[in-house]
Structure 1
Amino acid sequence: MSSKDIYSKYILAYICTFPTKEEILSTNKLISTGVPPERSVGSLKNKTPVELSNGKLITPPDDLIHSYKESTFIVLEIPSVEYLESLISSSDFDKYKKEGTCNHPEENDLKIIVHFSPPEVMKDSRYRQWANSFSPSVSHLVINSRSSCLGLHSPVIMQLQLNQILPNVFPLHRNPGVPFVSFGADIPIEEDIMIPSFTSEYKFEGTTIQSNSAILYHIQPFKEFDSSRRPFVNPKQALSNCQENESILNSLENLNAKFAELNQEKNSASRNHYPSFLFLGTGSSYATGTRNNSAILISLWTQDIIPHFKNTAFRFSHSPKPFCPRPPFLTNNVMQKVPILYILAPQDIISFVKKLSHNFSFDFENILFINNYDLSKKNFDKLPIHKAIKSLQLEQVTVVKVPHLERSFGVALTHKDGWKVVYSGDASPSTNLISIGKNCDLLIHEATLEDGMEERALLTLHSTFSQAIEVGEDMNAKFTILTHFSQRYKKIPFFEENTLREKNVGIAFDCMKVTFEDFPYLRHLYPTLKEMFSEDYSILKRIRFMKTLK
């Protein structure tokens, strides 16, 4: 059997069993009775009475020491209905089904089945029949496209704060994984969001929960679902500092006055929404609570964006990074809508993704990979992507090598309407990039490290803030947006006083969406950002000062 056939023939399900545990001390009971740690716990475990400091004698009763029987759970993903017959015919599950336990129901130790299968598979009558072959006492946890599991509340809070500055540029997150509680309420005690999301969609006999962020299932000793740790955001609390801090309020007032002047200078009251630039991530190396891995989505115009390929996506990538086994753009239902999807990448990434296809269900039938190096050749018009680029109404796509890893590229997009956008990727300052970016309307440049860290930037082949700004000035860019910040800058990058004054420079944040019309506003944001995130700025300033003492 070739490696290419492995995925199409085999999938894995996991049957996991916790062994029997005897004489386990109940932590909750120990705390409630005031038993001190260390030797006292060991004595109780040996059923030896313990005398507390107040003279109370604690004797280990049965309810202080528990014993647990074996507990089993099943985890499976059936990616498509083609695998259902194999699932149904598998005998590995028989001992846990109703028929296998009917004579000895007390020995049925299966507690829960975790389903990663898509909704359309789970609603198939054959899948339902298989799930209902287990006892109704077995619970079901469903984790699929119906789930709301994007549960990081930090970026939601940050977006709420940024939205106070410029709502058009920082639209609010409405992440179902992090719900908003009532504006007038304090910390909720018995809110609906704390109740697990029971579902009858799949018509299973056992209790069925559609997963959301931070849901727990306690196998021992509770045998129940728990949503008490689900993240939520109270906007009133999240914005209390912005609405009560006098320094922030004064800065916002001054900023709004400046915005009013800019509004009067505009030639038209209408807003041109395209092209737009959505920053899906603005951090380097790895994702954190406030900055995702760097990625940018460029929307060229409005209608029928996906079916007719009106979007261009860029992602910083200097090594193959982990990603989901079945990206949305490689699934069959998307392929039916997009005749050909062009993916521009270095050869290493192309080879890596193709190797993954041997183990995951990637459908490359309508995918065309273009090596970035080929775009830098003079016979560009003969490449398969040439027709697609023309359909995007782009006059030219120019790719050049930039100083980073061996196959690192910068790119310039020139539209038929005359505007040009340049993107650096991961790179040290590059004369190649400057040459293709002359007089561009927008430069998006990585700015990984603060000024004063030039040696580290040179060692890692990245750019400092000022170096990135100078690249924009050297190519006469009309505006520069800095992104790809080191994760040491959790909320705001550190600039010395007056570094950005009178500069046509903006700072990118996750989920920031801008058009050409927003650039005059972006250049005035930093003083207010510094006030809004003053605690983080003070920490960075203190670290900078300590470095000068060394």
Structure 2
Amino acid sequence: MPSILNPLYFRLLKSQTRLFANSSDSNLIRVLKTMPKEPKHIADAQKQRSKIKEKYNKYVPGRVTLQVLGTGAKGAPRALYVFSDQSRYLFNCGEGTQRLAHEHKMKLAKLEHIFVTQPVWKNIGGLPGTALTIQDVGVPQITLHGPKGLEEIFAATKRFVVIRDLKIKMAECTEHSTFEDNVMVVKYVLLERNEDIVHDAIDEESESDNSLGVQVGNSEKSDAETSTRREGGNRRRRRRSNSMNKQREENIVDDTDYYAHERKKFKSRSRSRNQSRPQSLESGLRNHSANNISQISEDILAETKEKGTSMCYICRLQPRPGALNLDKCVKMGVPPGPLLGRLKAGHEVLLPNGNKVTTQDVCEPDDPGPLFLVVDCPTVEYLDSMVESEEFRKHQKFATKDEDLAYLVVHFTPQNVMDNPRYKAWIEDFSPSTSHLVLNETNTCMGSLSVHRIQHKLNLLAEELFPLLGDNGTLTVTEHSNLHQNKKQKCEQNTDTSPSKSMENLSVKTHLEPYLYANTFLNFHLRPKKGLDSTAELKIVPNEYIEETMSIQTFPDVLQSLKQQWNNVKKDLISKNSMRLYPKILFLGTGSCIPNKTRNTSGILLETEKNKYILLDCGEGTYGQLVRFYGKNNCDQVLANINAIYVSHLHADHHIGLIGVLQGRKRALNSLNMKKGPLYLFAPKQILAWLQFYDRFFENIRNEFHLIPNGDLLLNEKNPATFHKNVIEELDMSDISTCFVKHCPNAFGVTVTHKTGFKITYSGDTMPSENLIELGQNSDLLIHEATMEDELANEAIVKLHSTTSQAIDVGKKMNAKHTLLTHFSQRYAKLPRFNENFSENVGIAFDNMQVRLDELPLVPLLYPALKLMFAEHYEELEHKAVKRQLRIDREREASVERKKVKENCKNLE
């Protein structure tokens, strides 16, 4: 044993210790790598936020602006953003709010209060996703304001929307309570419906009361449809029916942890098809409440739905002392120094010459705080409550003080109610100085520029695959004019439909134009009082996007070469098979986890033949994507003809948009005066826990679908002599089969085979799966997730996803004619990394890409132009890959050096 005083031994020992600590092969490092990663940045951000809040809470902000985020247009969220120097508030949070907030870089780190007018999907559909974003930026708590029980939406979604570091608080919202902070005071006004009023509104949800249509086993479990309009006798019948069906509804529960695999070390043992199924699938029926909420919460929710309360808000900014006027101070002889501070604090001072100076002598007039109203009158049944409200009357022309007059009224009210003579008369009772901002379906702006920007660029490459979007409701700058064009901007009784009409004109209040119809980023400055500001509104500038791309060096030449290749290949394809019109595949969302500005979450529309559609997965914003692609009017025909929806698994990015699509389909059928039955919902049986909860306590959706559990369609296990065979034939399919895949519990892959012969396989989310390969043998098209690039294979294992090469390899093994890759990590917002495995039958999917089956050979031709078009993004990906490889090389070299040190130590011994 060498002496510890030996310098050589000491250096070797020190080197060995250092290398051991840095080695990725050490036990410690391995343990650290496999431990769940705590989001440390969230805790740090929360502490920082608390310090800032404490500092500024004592001051009344000098700047408060009301900003339109979601206009309420068809397919767009309803979301009104109010921000001051240090605080943020949101009024309503419809589906898609998270994506718009991400695109427009809204400072959600300061958002702590969300006000909801009514607990319906168009107001709360974006709450789960927005809460995740708020959590990630370090907000410690958000407070919900609105009808009772609103917070239970988080209890219902907790299995697939994981909120760990954000506290959800529900404010006490009654007519006798208020909310107050350093920015404003909010009074709650409850509108209640008059049940004696019967009306017909296209946007109203059906009140029929049969239970959820569920296909279990071989029989159809659904009650007969019962008409229950709002007459008193029918309401009593509905209550009795609810009590009879209560036990059945309570039996459906889902206690599965769908994200457990991301918190535990992945076990490589794959489950064989012959092994037992996941316990949560076998034990889908439990004798517990649907989502394990308390009986008290259930009673509150049931009462809220029964009464149909709509919450309105009277918001008054806190009074602010007038600012110190230095010119007046000089005139009064006030010297610089502490006397100015005393005057600013509101105290009178005595000057050296004996004169007294008061605050009123040297300050601007106090700002008492302007007042604005947020109003949502859902149907004419609520008009009595609204018109007769004494609280509103105090701020109309009957106000006894000028500061009590409403400065602005924000209307979330549907247009058919606003057109009611009583609603118009109520508006006329406001002062002529009051402005009226409308956020409802009459607006046309959907809020996103990025989707138009990338679509205009991709359209340069292939007009067939990337048609320009049907959403033309956003202001557009044409090459002939600098005016902000909006072809469908509407004003009440306005006969001027010229496309040159600008939002600046809308700010002029006349008897013909009493309302302001908004686009995203319309601002209304409350303090200082500057009123309407439309300079920041979104503008689509097609020429700018095209010039930006064409100015890339060598791009025109590459584009010309692409066009020539495209035409040659297309001619050859036409000569061979006449280019069938169907099927068409439209990608509505090609991103994973959360939406970003260019890739929405999962959704694929399969048009099997003319006016026959099947939707594969349904992430948040899928309904909006349909409206954006087809346009406000044309999308109704598509929605009405969606006959089936397939949900692969119960992660939120694959099914949270389902309710929006179901409601959109129903409105489309009403609008087109079409009578069709419920669509077929192919999904894991456990989805019922969520859908039943929403139906029982928020809005009736029970008549809109029949559930066929994915487990009933397992390959080689289904019985052809079942009800499902009739459903498959009704959908013009010869076969629909599923299989378990390697992802979260109850995750499935699917293959659909049409009666004309084409076969399409969709993986959902999965690691490479032998079950899927067997299921999709000889498919015409495999649509497979490719979440990670090849170098991130270890990360893909942890999250149970596939790399690009793995997805391509699955296509080869199942002998698929073509493979389209989708579900890319948001790090690949524009383009994934290519590798040598990309071949002539492998394509990349983009949002709003529509391709026919016979056009698939054309897709790989796009690669050179795509790399050049998104060169900056692609170079960044390559740069990160090089840095990652250098790190791996350093770790490998350190490992080799460590082994040498060990050997030297042994030799010394």
1:44-72 CA-partner distances (Å, limit 9, x unpaired): 9679xxxxxxxxxxxx9999956321222
The answer for unaligned runs of 5 or more in structure 2 is 1-298, 326-337, 347-358, 486-499, 613-636, 888-909
**Equivalent residue number for residue 528 of structure 2:** 221
Q: 1:396 aligns with which of 725, 735, 738?
A: 735
Q: 1:329 aligns with which of 662, 677, 701?
A: 662
**Equivalent residue number for residue 319 of structure 1:** 651
Q: Does 1:530 find its partner at 2:867?
A: yes
Number of residue equivalences = 518
**Equivalent residue number for residue 356 of structure 1:** 694
Q: Does 1:146 find its partner at 2:453?
A: no
Per the TM alignment, residue 205 of structure 1 is displaced from its structure 2 partner at its CA by 8.8
**Equivalent residue number for residue 790 of structure 2:** 451
Per the TM alignment, residue 198 of structure 1 is displaced from its structure 2 partner at its CA by 6.2
Matches within 5 A, 1:108-187: 108-183=404-479
Q: Does 1:88 find its partner at 2:88?
A: no
Q: Secondary structure at the match of 2:707?
A: strand
- Pair 326,427 (structure 1): closer, same or farther in 2 beyond 3 Å: closer
Give the partner amino acid of 2:881: R
- Pair 2,294 (structure 1): closer, same or farther in 2 beyond 3 Å: same
Give the partner amino acid of 2:706: L
Structure 1 runs of 4+ with >4 Å offset = 41-47, 60-66, 184-189, 191-194, 196-200, 203-206, 268-271, 303-308, 310-317, 321-326
Q: Which moved more, 1:426-435 or 1:112-121?
A: 112-121
Separation (CA, whole Å) in 2 of partners of 1:42 and 1:407: 67
Q: Secondary structure at the match of 1:256?
A: helix
Per the TM alignment, residue 315 of structure 1 is displaced from its structure 2 partner at its CA by 5.9
**Equivalent residue number for residue 544 of structure 1:** 881
Per the TM alignment, residue 452 of structure 1 is displaced from its structure 2 partner at its CA by 0.8
Matches within 5 A, 1:58-77: 67-77=366-376
**Equivalent residue number for residue 285 of structure 1:** 593
Q: Is the 8 A contact 2:395 2:404 kept in 1?
A: yes
- Pair 472,353 (structure 1): closer, same or farther in 2 beyond 3 Å: same
Give the partner amino acid of 2:570: N
Per the TM alignment, residue 523 of structure 1 is displaced from its structure 2 partner at its CA by 1.6
- Pair 324,90 (structure 1): closer, same or farther in 2 beyond 3 Å: farther
Q: 1:7 aligns with which of 302, 305, 310?
A: 305
**Equivalent residue number for residue 513 of structure 1:** 850
Per the TM alignment, residue 318 of structure 1 is displaced from its structure 2 partner at its CA by 3.8
- Pair 489,204 (structure 1): closer, same or farther in 2 beyond 3 Å: farther
Separation (CA, whole Å) in 1 of partners of 2:608 and 2:826: 30
Separation (CA, whole Å) in 2 of partners of 1:11 and 1:392: 40
Q: Secondary structure at the match of 2:429?
A: coil
- Pair 308,334 (structure 1): closer, same or farther in 2 beyond 3 Å: closer
**Equivalent residue number for residue 33 of structure 1:** none
Separation (CA, whole Å) in 1 of partners of 2:360 and 2:768: 71
Structure scoring higher RCO (CA < 8 A, sep ≥ 6) equals: 2
Separation (CA, whole Å) in 2 of partners of 1:366 and 1:46: 62
Q: Does 1:272 find its partner at 2:580?
A: yes
Separation (CA, whole Å) in 1 of partners of 2:470 and 2:448: 12
Q: Which moved more, 1:260-269 or 1:135-144?
A: 260-269
Separation (CA, whole Å) in 1 of partners of 2:867 and 2:611: 38
Q: Please tell me the root mean square deviation across aligned C-alpha atoms, in Å.
A: 3.4
Matches within 5 A, 1:284-433: 284-303=592-611, 306=638, 309=641, 312-314=644-646, 318-320=650-652, 327=660, 329-330=662-663, 333-334=667-668, 336=670, 337=674, 338-376=676-714, 378-379=718-719, 381-383=721-723, 386-433=725-772
Matches within 5 A, 1:178-197: 178-183=474-479, 192-195=501-504, 197=506
1:266-288 CA-partner distances (Å, limit 9, x unpaired): 23596533211111111111111
Per the TM alignment, residue 250 of structure 1 is displaced from its structure 2 partner at its CA by 2.2
Give the partner amino acid of 1:128: K
Separation (CA, whole Å) in 2 of partners of 1:440 and 1:325: 27
Q: Secondary structure at the match of 2:461?
A: coil
- Pair 344,86 (structure 1): closer, same or farther in 2 beyond 3 Å: farther
Give the partner amino acid of 1:153: L
- Pair 121,6 (structure 1): closer, same or farther in 2 beyond 3 Å: same
Separation (CA, whole Å) in 2 of partners of 1:290 and 1:25: 48
Give the partner amino acid of 1:17: R
Q: Is the 8 A contact 1:440 1:475 kept in 2?
A: yes
Separation (CA, whole Å) in 1 of partners of 2:363 and 2:880: 50
Q: Does 1:211 find its partner at 2:518?
A: yes
Q: Is the 8 A contact 2:519 2:538 kept in 1?
A: no
Sequence identity (%): 33
- Pair 286,44 (structure 1): closer, same or farther in 2 beyond 3 Å: farther
- Pair 351,132 (structure 1): closer, same or farther in 2 beyond 3 Å: farther
Q: Which has the larger radius of gyration?
A: 2
- Pair 312,168 (structure 1): closer, same or farther in 2 beyond 3 Å: farther
- Pair 197,329 (structure 1): closer, same or farther in 2 beyond 3 Å: farther
Give the partner amino acid of 1:133: D
**Equivalent residue number for residue 557 of structure 2:** 250
Separation (CA, whole Å) in 1 of partners of 2:825 and 2:415: 39
Per the TM alignment, residue 293 of structure 1 is displaced from its structure 2 partner at its CA by 1.0
**Equivalent residue number for residue 237 of structure 1:** 544
Per the TM alignment, residue 468 of structure 1 is displaced from its structure 2 partner at its CA by 0.7
- Pair 352,242 (structure 1): closer, same or farther in 2 beyond 3 Å: same
Give the partner amino acid of 1:195: E
Separation (CA, whole Å) in 2 of partners of 1:287 and 1:238: 22
Q: Which moved more, 1:328-337 or 1:169-178?
A: 328-337
Q: Is the 8 A contact 1:197 1:211 kept in 2?
A: no
| Larger helix fraction of residues | 2
Q: Is the 8 A contact 2:648 2:683 kept in 1?
A: no
- Pair 267,433 (structure 1): closer, same or farther in 2 beyond 3 Å: same
Separation (CA, whole Å) in 2 of partners of 1:294 and 1:25: 56
Q: Does 1:481 find its partner at 2:777?
A: no
Separation (CA, whole Å) in 1 of partners of 2:728 and 2:883: 51
Separation (CA, whole Å) in 1 of partners of 2:861 and 2:469: 23
- Pair 507,86 (structure 1): closer, same or farther in 2 beyond 3 Å: same
Per the TM alignment, residue 301 of structure 1 is displaced from its structure 2 partner at its CA by 2.0
Give the partner amino acid of 2:417: V
Per the TM alignment, residue 244 of structure 1 is displaced from its structure 2 partner at its CA by 3.0
Q: Is the 8 A contact 1:197 1:212 kept in 2?
A: no
Give the partner amino acid of 2:474: V
Q: Is the 8 A contact 2:507 2:532 kept in 1?
A: no
TM-score with structure 2 setting the length: 0.53
Q: Is the 8 A contact 2:649 2:684 kept in 1?
A: no
Matches within 5 A, 1:26-105: 67-99=366-398, 101=399, 104-105=400-401
Q: Is the 8 A contact 1:396 1:414 kept in 2?
A: yes
Separation (CA, whole Å) in 1 of partners of 2:795 and 2:342: 56
Separation (CA, whole Å) in 1 of partners of 2:601 and 2:421: 40
Give the partner amino acid of 1:529: L
Give the partner amino acid of 1:161: K
Separation (CA, whole Å) in 2 of partners of 1:416 and 1:115: 50
1:95-138 CA-partner distances (Å, limit 9, x unpaired): 22333x1xx24132422221122211221223223333322322
